Amino acid sequence: MFRLFASALMLSVLCANTPVAAQQSAGDSADFFRGKTISLVVGYSPGGGFDQAARILAKSFGRAIPGNPSIIVRNMPGAGSLVAANYVNNTAPRDGTVIAVLNDQMLIAPLLKTEGALFDPRKIGWLGASGSRGTTVIFLRADSGVSTFEESQHKPALIAATGPDATSSYALLANELLGMKLQLVMGYRGGSSEMNLAIARGEVHGRVSWDYESLKHYQPDWLANKMVNVIVQLGMKPNPELPNVPMAINLAKSEEDRQIMEIVFGAGQFLRNYSVPAGVPEARLAELRAAFAKTMADPEFRHDTEATTPQGVDYSPPEKIDAFLDRVYSFPPRVIERAAKFVGQ
């Protein structure tokens, strides 16, 4: 009798654990998502690059998710997607029905103690990133008198900037960590178009925060006619089209300076990152990750993305995001404190 009771007890324990996990992995996601609607929360206003990218993704993503749920885009602009990040990770349901697409700076905002960042990126359920910032470069007019990195350490050059953001913070980094002599001319509130017009007119010599892909796409004559020189690459990997242009991170004078650049430039590998809040069931998160990876290879998605974005699709899996976070969040406090002033919001 005791053996029969023990056997029944053991069977009930197994049924309470193994079959439930098996059910989650095999059919829970399809059963759960079928007939439901997923909210894709975009941290920017309608019509912008993030909004456009999210709407392109939504068309293919729903087909790849088990149960084929509908996906609607919900815009929640504010503070460079900080408002959306706080909402999704503190208020939204933790069941996979709410997905965020955030700016790359949200990966390091809590690390740098950005005011109002009320979440821990290391606990978020990352699905992956669909794009990167491309190869951010420093480029100057050919008649600026500065055509190489070495010359930039001895001769000043005027740099267009909108204000205290990435358009200026990268110049400050280049001056402090690389010994360049870039002089900021701020106030070009119109963004890229206004700064490019200032370069064309000769008001300033160049920019520090535009990526090479956009330079080729929007100002092809500048490169074709050798009107500008690219003198430094700001990023984590070299662009094969710029074999003779040095990478800033390889010019670092110390390991501390290199770590600062890893924080500042590294997040740019994950420009448009997608995530669900902590607490989504593991099997369901795995299904969403698999569906996201499948979407990244979808021909329709890739075609539409490449038609609207100079950088195209540059997929990073969630494991790469997690590895980046584990590394930079382990850096010494002094490195993190110094890096904060070079991250433009």
For 117-157, the pLDDT digits (tens) are 999 999 999 999 999 988 999 999 999 999 999 999 999 99
User: What integer pLDDT is reported at residue 28 of this predicted model?
Assistant: 60
Q: Is the model's pLDDT at 47 over the cut of 70?
A: yes
For 262-284, the pLDDT digits (tens) are 999 999 999 999 999 999 999 99
Structural domains of the chain ordered from first start: 33-133+267-340 (3.40.190.150), 136-234 (3.40.190.10)
pLDDT band, very low/low/confident/very high, at 11 (cuts 50, 70, 90): very low
User: What integer pLDDT is reported at residue 311 of this predicted model?
Assistant: 82
| Separation of alpha carbons 215 and 232, rounded Å | 14
Mean pLDDT of 65-84: 95
User: What integer pLDDT is reported at residue 251 of this predicted model?
Assistant: 97
For 219-266, the pLDDT digits (tens) are 999 999 999 999 999 999 999 999 999 999 999 999 999 999 999 999
Question: Which of 198, 239, 194 is closest to 216 using CA atoms?
Answer: 239
- Do 102 and 81 meet the contact criterion of CB atoms below 8 Å apart? yes
Do the bridges between strand 182-186 and strand 157-161 make them parallel or antiparallel, or are there none, so unpaired?
parallel
| Separation of alpha carbons 210 and 138, rounded Å | 8
Q: Is the model's pLDDT at 14 over the cut of 90?
A: no
Which contacts qualify for 72-76: CB closer than 8 Å, 24 or more apart?
72/37, 72/38, 72/39, 72/40, 73/40, 73/42, 74/39, 74/40, 74/41, 74/42, 75/41, 75/42, 75/44, 75/45, 75/46, 75/51, 76/41, 76/42, 76/43
- Do 333 and 260 meet the contact criterion of CB atoms below 8 Å apart? no
- Cα distances from 92 to residues 28, 98, 99, 131, 277, in angstroms, run 20, 7, 9, 25, 8
Greatest Cα pair distance in the chain: 95
| Separation of alpha carbons 322 and 126, rounded Å | 8
SS3 183: strand
SS3 234: strand
Q: Which of 10-19, 145-154, 299-308, 319-328 has the lowest mean pLDDT?
A: 10-19
For 168-200, the pLDDT digits (tens) are 999 999 999 999 999 999 999 888 899 999 999
Tokens representing residue 24 in the block:
């989650």
User: What integer pLDDT is reported at residue 323 of this predicted model?
Assistant: 98
pTM assigned to the model: 0.85
| Separation of alpha carbons 209 and 212, rounded Å | 10
Q: Is the model's pLDDT at 6 over the cut of 50?
A: no
The full length of the chain comes to 345
pLDDT band, very low/low/confident/very high, at 18 (cuts 50, 70, 90): very low
